[in-house]
Amino acid sequence: MKSLFSFLLIVFTLSACQTSFKPQQGDLLFQDLDCGATCDAIEKVTEGALNKNISHIGVVVIENNERFVLEAIPPKVKLTPIDSFLNRSVDENGNPKVMVGRIYSRDVKFMQRALYTAKNKVGITYDDAFIYRNGKYYCSELIYDVFKSANYGRAFFELQPMTFKAPRDTAFMPAWAAYYAELEQEIPEGQPGINPALISQSEHLKIIHHYGMLSEK
């Protein structure tokens, strides 16, 4: 009986923590998005924080006491109600496959500049070719530029040469070869870019909450 009581207490405590957590303005939401071969390919090329698979990212924006996630997702940059974002991809227990990163202490004006820039990006076309500075945005590129702007034009996160090959492979992953063949574009191997997993590993943030269980490498 005592062990059953202890188990129920743990379940209740975890449930209470889950429902009571409220993300702050500027928190980054890292999502293990189930979008098929493309998401699988994104997750395979870079390991996320805590060894998690991460294929999407957005930033929390609070307006009139309502929480939204600003994200670049086809067909454009938009503000998505946070519940819609969280329930887009769930684990076997029905919990969102999302973990929350919080930027280490910054002054209020830094975050104000970031969010002002972020909201001005709404409506910009999604960048399905993943090419930096082509007038469009993919998810992590949006976050990169938002925080670079807040940092007075100095990089806050770091761009790295992109790869579309699995670790230790010399050939392009079949999913990427098919993806760019459909776009009728060359694969931008080696061009500067960034992905959600890279941002999750940044020294500028810490992972503070898990809504559910993201898959692992």
Please tell me the CATH code under which domain 21-210 is placed.
3.90.1720.10
pTM of the model: 0.89
The pLDDT score that the predictor gives to residue 19 is 59
**∠180-183-184 over CA atoms, to 5°?**
85
The pLDDT score that the predictor gives to residue 16 is 42
Low-confidence ranges of the chain (pLDDT < 70): 1-19
Specify the residue for token string 């309502």.
Answer: 66
The pLDDT score that the predictor gives to residue 8 is 40
Q: How far is CA 35 from CA 98, 195, 213, in A?
A: 15, 16, 17
Which of 85, 55, 54, 65 minimizes the C-alpha distance to 25? Answer: 65
- Count of alpha carbons within 13 angstroms of residue 145, beta-carbon side: 21
